[in-house]
Structure 1
Amino acid sequence: MYKKAQLPQSESQSITKMMALSLAAAFLASVWAMVSSRLFNRTRLRYPLPPGPKRLPIIGNLRDVNRIDKPLWLAYADWSKIYGDIFYLEILGEPMVILNSAKAIDDIFEKRSANYSDRPPMYMVNELMGWAWDFAHMRYSDRWRLHRKTFHQYFQPRQVPEFYPILRESASSLLTKLLHDPEDFIDHVRHHAGSIILKVVYGHQMQSKNDHYVNLADKAVKGLSQAIAHGSFLVDFAPILSYIPSWFPGATFKKKAEFWAHDSTETRDGPWVELKKSYDVQDNGTSVPCFATYSLEKFKNSKHMEEVIKNCSGVAFVGKVTYDTRGSYLLPPSLTTTLTIAAGADTTVSTISSAILALLLQPEVQTKVQEELDRVVGRSRLPNFDDRTNLPYLEAVLTESLRWNPVSPLSLPHRSMNDDVYNGYFIPSGSTVVGNSWSILHNPEFYPDPLTFIPERFLPKEGKELPPDPSLYVFGFGRRICPGRYLALNSAWIAIAALMATYRLSKRIDTKTGKEIEPVVDYSEGIVWLVQAP
Structure 2
Amino acid sequence: MFPSSSSVYALAILVVIVTYAWQRRSRNVLLPPGPPGYPIIRNVYDIPQGYAWLAYNEWAKTYGDVFRVEAFGKTTIILNSLKAAMELLDKKSSNSSDRPRLVMADELMGWEWDFAHMAYSDRWRRHRRVFHQYFQPRNLASYYPIQKKVTATLLSQLGRSPENFAAHIRQHVSSVVLNAAYGYEVQAENDFYIQLAHKALQPLLSSVHAGHYLVDFLPFLKHVPRAGFKRRAEEWAVNTRALRDIPFNNVKQDIANGTGKQSFVSDNLDKINNDATLANREEEAEIIRNCAALVYLAGSDTSAAVVRSWFLAMAHHPDTQRKAQAEVERVVGDSRLPDFEDRPAMPYVEAMLLEVMRWAVITPLGVPHRMVKDDVYGGYRIPAGTTVTANVWAIFHDEQIYPEPFRFDPERFLKDGKLVFDQPDPTTIGAFGFGRRICPGRYLASNSSWIAIVSILATYNISKAKDERGNTIEPLIEFTDGVVSHPKPFTVSITPRSENSKKLVEAATQDMSS
Asked whether the 8 Å contact 2:49–2:212 carries over to 1, the reply is no
Give the Å deviation of 1:25: 4.3
Secondary structure, counterpart of 2:394 in structure 1? helix
1:296 counterpart (248, 269, 285): 269
Q: Which runs of 5+ in 2 are unaligned?
A: 275-280, 492-514
CA distance in 1, matches of 2:472, 2:163: 17
The residue number in structure 1 matching 2:478 is 522
2:436 counterpart (479, 488, 508): 479
Map Cα deviations across residues 345-385 of structure 1 (whole Å, 9 max, x no partner).
x2211111111110111111111111111111111000011
CA distance in 2, matches of 1:37, 1:148: 37
CA distance in 2, matches of 1:455, 1:203: 35
Specify the code of the residue in structure 1 equivalent to 2:238. H
Identity of matched residues, % = 44
The residue number in structure 2 matching 1:307 is 286
Give the Å deviation of 1:144: 1.0
2:215 maps to 1:239: no
CA distance in 1, matches of 2:17, 2:434: 33
Asked whether the 8 Å contact 1:51–1:87 carries over to 2, the reply is yes
2:119 maps to 1:163: no
User: What does residue range 72-221 of structure 1 map to in structure 2 within 5 Å?
Assistant: 72-221=52-201
Specify the code of the residue in structure 1 equivalent to 2:260. S
2:25 counterpart (40, 45, 69): 40
CA distance in 1, matches of 2:45, 2:242: 37
CA distance in 2, matches of 1:288, 1:462: 43
CA distance in 2, matches of 1:194, 1:130: 22
Give the Å deviation of 1:139: 1.3
Map Cα deviations across residues 258-295 of structure 1 (whole Å, 9 max, x no partner).
1111110011111112101011222xxx7321100111
CA distance in 2, matches of 1:423, 1:33: 30
Give the Å deviation of 1:93: 1.1
CA distance in 2, matches of 1:370, 1:169: 21
Specify the code of the residue in structure 2 equivalent to 1:198. L
2:402 maps to 1:447: yes
Asked whether the 8 Å contact 2:348–2:417 carries over to 1, the reply is no
Secondary structure, counterpart of 2:98 in structure 1? coil
User: What does residue range 330-345 of structure 1 map to in structure 2 within 5 Å?
Assistant: none
Asked whether the 8 Å contact 2:347–2:417 carries over to 1, the reply is no
Query: Does the C-alpha gap of structure 1 residues 201 and 462 become closer, same or farther in structure 2, counting only changes over 3 Å?
Result: closer
The TM-score with structure 1 as length reference comes to 0.86
Q: Write out the 4+ residue segments of structure 1 that deviate beyond 6 Å after TM superposition.
A: none
Asked whether the 8 Å contact 2:366–2:433 carries over to 1, the reply is yes
Query: Does the C-alpha gap of structure 1 residues 281 and 219 become closer, same or farther in structure 2, counting only changes over 3 Å?
Result: same
Asked whether the 8 Å contact 1:95–1:428 carries over to 2, the reply is no
CA distance in 1, matches of 2:297, 2:446: 16
CA distance in 1, matches of 2:254, 2:49: 50
CA distance in 2, matches of 1:313, 1:509: 42
Aligned length: 480
The residue number in structure 1 matching 2:239 is 263
Q: Which runs of 5+ in 1 are unaligned?
A: 1-15, 322-345
1:316 counterpart (289, 295, 301): 295
CA distance in 1, matches of 2:375, 2:345: 46
Query: Does the C-alpha gap of structure 1 residues 351 and 290 become closer, same or farther in structure 2, counting only changes over 3 Å?
Result: same
2:365 maps to 1:410: yes
2:16 counterpart (31, 39, 44): 31
Asked whether the 8 Å contact 2:363–2:431 carries over to 1, the reply is yes
2:428 maps to 1:468: no
Asked whether the 8 Å contact 1:72–1:526 carries over to 2, the reply is no
- Please, what is the CA RMSD of the aligned residues? 2.1
The residue number in structure 2 matching 1:63 is 45
CA distance in 2, matches of 1:231, 1:117: 21
Give the Å deviation of 1:421: 1.8
The TM-score with structure 2 as length reference comes to 0.89
CA distance in 2, matches of 1:351, 1:307: 30
Give the Å deviation of 1:151: 0.8
Query: Does the C-alpha gap of structure 1 residues 222 and 462 become closer, same or farther in structure 2, counting only changes over 3 Å?
Result: closer
Secondary structure, counterpart of 2:212 in structure 1? coil
Secondary structure, counterpart of 1:299 in structure 2? helix
CA distance in 2, matches of 1:32, 1:114: 34
Specify the code of the residue in structure 1 equivalent to 2:409. I
Asked whether the 8 Å contact 1:296–1:306 carries over to 2, the reply is yes
Give the Å deviation of 1:489: 0.5
CA distance in 1, matches of 2:154, 2:30: 55
CA distance in 2, matches of 1:415, 1:33: 23
2:379 maps to 1:424: yes
CA distance in 2, matches of 1:313, 1:494: 22
Specify the code of the residue in structure 2 equivalent to 1:453. F
Query: Does the C-alpha gap of structure 1 residues 352 and 529 become closer, same or farther in structure 2, counting only changes over 3 Å?
Result: closer
Query: Does the C-alpha gap of structure 1 residues 533 and 217 become closer, same or farther in structure 2, counting only changes over 3 Å?
Result: closer
Asked whether the 8 Å contact 1:347–1:489 carries over to 2, the reply is no
